[in-house]
Amino acid sequence: MELVTKKKLELYSGDSHPELAQEIAEHLGVELGEPNLRQFANGELHCRYGESIRGADVFIIQTHAGPNVNDALMQQLIMIDAAKRASAKRITAVCPYYGYARQDRKAEGREPITAKLVADLLSAAGVDRVVSVDLHTGQIQGFFDMPVDHLTALPILVDRCRDSGDVDDLVIVSPDAGGAKAVTRLANHLGADIAFVNKLRPKGVANTVVAANVIGNVDGKRCILFDDMIDTAGTIVAAADLLKAEGATEVWAMATHGVLSDPAIERLKNSSLERVVLTNTLPLPPEKQIDKIEVLSIAPLVADAISAVFEDESVSEIFGGENQK
């Protein structure tokens, strides 16, 4: 007797960003499964899948978001472990925002490399593959001994730039030298000029920057400050003020990840920025929703990547090389 096995896709979500997970599920045309997550009185987390996932291709969506990044990460690890012990055929961790990504090296002695630790934890839990969006540094892929699909929100942001008006007078600006490669890619797609803000970060003072000078011509130009994330917004706001002082007619900010730790919202609200464009890799709670902030969805991109992984197709070919780094 010949056995015919049918592939089965199972999609689950942690608690950190259920709205994004639901949108991804709708694009895929599947129902989100029930992981029955709960927290005991002492704070410990628990998971028990509501249906059999034996032999299934399981995708566990969890963005590593605040207010407690550690809970979000631990919840995903527990869900992975439960799926492994329930005999899932393959487990993919979908992490739209990868926690601790900025701790990717030792800047000084006696420091951890926590981005590597997170990779080790995911591996130890039993994950077979990772999907993420715009990692802080692409080298984080090397922390894993498994496939990592590193997606980028660039195509979505390129389209928004084109919708913003004539690109002839547009300048794409990096708020620091480290963003040169990303800014160049965006500018090349648009045929726009580039500029850089030289910033100083006082030693030993966290989340504090001083914008020193602009390298490039921004006088009479519309400027878009482009970065992978906005956290406390100190860098972006300082850069925007400097661009305006150098003659920029309008300044926008664009970033994939809106971390927006305090006092980011107050800074953005009172800044010289006309608009702040983010994607929904991280949730934006009501108290952080201000008129300047516009949120674009990365759900279609993530859904397409999940579909390609499930069908054992090339993710890079699906996106034509545009949406994988």
Instruction: Give the tokens for residue 82.
Output: 């439960």
Name the residue with tokens 């400050």. Answer: 225
- Name which residue leads in pLDDT, 40 or 206: 40
Asked if domains 9-152+299-318 and 154-296 share a fold, the reply is yes
- CATH number 3.40.50.150 given to 154-296: no
Q: Which of 2-6, 39-43, 192-196, 292-296 has the lowest mean pLDDT?
A: 2-6
What is the tens place of the pLDDT at every residue in 224-262? 999 999 999 998 999 999 999 999 999 999 999 999 999
**Amino acid (one-letter) located at 134:** D
How confident is the model at residue 324, as a pLDDT? 61
Supply the DSSP string of 53-83, one letter for each residue: -TT-EEEEE----SS-HHHHHHHHHHHHHHH
Phi, psi of 124, rounded to the nearest 5 degrees: -65, -30
Report whether pLDDT(322) > 70. Answer: no
* Cα gap 46→39, rounded to integer Å: 6
The set of catalytic residues is 199
Provide the pLDDT confidence category of residue 187 given band limits of 50, 70 and 90: very high
Cβ of 169: how many Cβ atoms within 10 Å? 14
Distance CA(53)–CA(200), nearest Å, equals 51
pLDDT the model gives residue 313: 92
Is the pLDDT reported for residue 4 higher than 60?
no
More confident residue, 169 or 321: 169
Residue 263: CB atoms within 10 Å: 14
Query: What's the pLDDT tens digit per position in 213-227?
Result: 899 999 999 999 999
Type of residue numbered 51: E
Question: Global pTM?
Answer: 0.93
Domain boundaries, given as residue ranges, for the chain: 9-152+299-318, 154-296
Peptide linkage before 263 cis (omega within 30 of 0): yes
User: Does CATH place domain 9-152+299-318 in 3.30.43.10?
Assistant: no
CA atoms within 13 A of residue 98's CA, in its CB half-sphere: 33
Q: How far apart are CA 18 and CA 9, in angstroms?
A: 18
Flag the least confident range among 60-69, 150-159, 175-184: 175-184
How would residue 56 be classed by pLDDT, with cut points 50, 70 and 90?
Answer: very high
Mean pLDDT (whole number) for 45-57: 97
pLDDT of res. 213: 86
